Amino acid sequence: MESGRVAIVEDDPVLLDQLGWALRGRFEVLPARDAAEGLALADHDPDVFLVDLRLPPSGEPEEGLRLVAALRKKCADATVLVMTAEAERKLALKALELGAFDFFRKPFDTSDLLVVLSRALERRRLLRENRALRDDALKRRSLGRLVGASAPMRALFLAIEKVAPSDATVLVHGESGTGKELVAEAIHAGSPRREGPFVVVNSSALPEALAESELFGHERGAFTGAVASRPGKFELAHRGTLFLDEVATLSPAVQAKLLRALESREIERVGGRKPIAVDIRLVAATNEDLEARVRAGTFREDLLYRLNTVPLRIPPLRERKEDLPLLVALFAERAAARAGRPPKFFAPEALQALATHTFRGNVRELEHLVEMLTLMVDGETIGPEHLPGTLSRTDGSAETAARRTSDDLPFSEAVARFERERLVRAIARAGGVKARAAETLGLDANQMKYLCRKYQL
């Protein structure tokens, strides 16, 4: 009884027949004589590939190595075994670095080959089971692009599901990197306005002189450079949802005009004289204490009351650490797909180390860290030794951990390690924006470019 499908890529017809006879009855065998035929077999989704490294047209091992890399790129879950001669151990190790699961030597012993195949098939089965479980978990533990199974996230999902069908204004509270825009997306997707536009405005990115024009539009000639009339974000969001992020950064003048627009459901363009009716649902967000802003006189109290019809709070990552394995698996799969690389698996010790980290940048910081590790770490498994700095240590203080990792190094290497770790952390906390990371580190653009090139970041 056949227990799997095996693709064999071997240009020697005698050896190809021998392998076919050895596996016949146990496996469905798919033969190929060169790399092009072998790559085409990926469309048949075999459970295992057996690949000879010395393939036509050159007969050099680079042909087989390129095929291994191409198979893993085309099918991230491909389980590849390579066949090598006795003296080609270095080539086999190179194939493992490119994503091959294992290797065996020619001439082969049938019993040894069956053992290696059994291990490969078990890996394939586990990958399929893990993917099915992850897909099922995401269906049960996600709302839109929000992911989580912890009690705080389940409470957030329930609150979103309750408020989404209404037209109530929502104020989302959350630290930087927690996913405030994803909450707004989920509210919009669950509302009767889901077929309408979803317009995002980052208030902190609006220059004060242009904020009013960006939100409410302007008429031709309203100010220098206004060569044509232009609608603002309110008009663009008509019959949809307007997401106003970092609302605390709006100037007093814009706050006043925003309050009037919410109360009257009308706006006036800059330089305009007639009111324009707008039908929008507003979701605002902030990472600041707006009540403290009101007490300081920098935020209007009446606007706060108008925005705060339904408050929602997103828990920071430190309050939902049980979601970390699910988030890591999701981010690792996405990063591998974007880079065209095989997926990486985080060892339990690495997950334990991550669970001890503060993650001031929250989910965004975690996502950028996982992406960096996916790109930089060779092999399938990411262990605690691959984590930057004190993340790789779960015992003792940060200072002690840092001292243990650098005291025995030459001075130049210790300095280089320190520089690289500072850069990685700063870039992650800045959401991947290197210019912002440079500002926090006190570096100019040229220094940042030099260091990123130096450490391949």
* Confidence bin at 293 (pLDDT 50/70/90): very high
Residues 6+ apart with CB under 8 A from 384: 347, 349, 350, 352, 353, 391, 392, 393, 394
pLDDT cut 70: percent of the chain above it: 89
* Confidence bin at 380 (pLDDT 50/70/90): confident
| Domain match, 356 and 287 both | no
Reading the block at residue 301, the tokens are 């109290």
| Domain match, 157 and 221 both | yes
Domain count of the fold of the chain: 3
Question: 165 near 190, Cβ under 8 Å?
Answer: yes
| Domain match, 82 and 163 both | no
| Domain match, 337 and 450 both | yes
CATH (domain of 193): 3.40.50.300
The alpha carbon of 209 is separated from its chain's Cα centroid by a whole number of angstroms, namely: 35
Q: Is the dihedral of CA 429, 434, 438, 441 positive or negative?
A: positive
pLDDT digits (tens, 9 = 90+) for 109-121: 888 888 888 888 8
Angle subtended by helix axes 61-74 and 89-97, to nearest 10: 20
| Pick from 222, 221, 246, 243: nearest CA to 234 | 243
Question: Which among 315, 337, 365 is the end of a domain?
Answer: 315
| Domain match, 412 and 445 both | yes
| Pick from 102, 103, 91, 31: nearest CA to 62 | 91
Torsion of the alpha carbons at 148, 152, 154 and 158, rounded to the nearest 10: -130
Question: Which residues make beta-bridge pairs with 436?
Answer: none
| Pick from 92, 73, 151: nearest CA to 320 | 151
| Pick from 82, 79, 75: nearest CA to 113 | 82
Question: 172 near 183, Cβ under 8 Å?
Answer: yes
Only one residue has tokens 């050895």, namely 22
pLDDT of residue 59: 86
* Region of poorest pLDDT, from 76-85, 301-310, 409-418: 409-418
Average pLDDT, the chain: 85
Question: 449 near 430, Cβ under 8 Å?
Answer: no
Reading the block at residue 96, the tokens are 């493992």
pLDDT of residue 410: 63
pLDDT of residue 135: 65
- Residue 343 in this model has a pLDDT that exceeds 80: no
CATH (domain of 125): 3.40.50.2300
For range 374-387, the mean pLDDT = 83
| Domain match, 69 and 209 both | no
| Domain match, 97 and 228 both | no
* Residue 244 forms part of a structural domain: yes
| Domain match, 126 and 175 both | no
* Residue 414 forms part of a structural domain: yes
Q: CA-CA distances (angstroms) from residue 48 to 13, 80, 81, 393?
A: 20, 6, 7, 37
| Domain match, 163 and 291 both | yes
| 329 phi-psi bin (left φ>0, alpha ψ -120 to 50, beta other) | alpha
| Domain match, 130 and 156 both | no
Residues 6+ apart with CB under 8 A from 286: 171, 172, 173, 246, 247, 248
* Confidence bin at 215 (pLDDT 50/70/90): very high
For residue 108, give the DSSP letter. Answer: P
* Residue 142 forms part of a structural domain: no
* Residue 366 forms part of a structural domain: yes
Question: Which among 315, 334, 367 is the end of a domain?
Answer: 315
pLDDT digits (tens, 9 = 90+) for 51-106: 998 898 888 889 989 999 898 888 877 889 998 876 777 888 888 878 888 888 88
449: containing domain: 320-454
pLDDT digits (tens, 9 = 90+) for 247-281: 999 999 999 999 999 999 999 998 888 999 999 99
Provide DSSP, 307-370: HTTEEEEPPPGGG-GGGHHHHHHHHHHHHHHHHT----EE-HHHHHHHHTS--TTHHHHHHHHH
Question: Which among 137, 162, 178 is the end of a domain?
Answer: 137
pLDDT digits (tens, 9 = 90+) for 159-201: 999 999 999 999 999 999 999 999 999 999 999 999 999 999 9
* Residue 18 forms part of a structural domain: yes
The whole-model pTM stands at 0.63
| Domain match, 325 and 210 both | no
* Residue 363 forms part of a structural domain: yes
pLDDT digits (tens, 9 = 90+) for 18-63: 888 888 888 889 999 999 999 999 988 898 999 998 898 888 889 9
- Residue 397 in this model has a pLDDT that exceeds 60: no
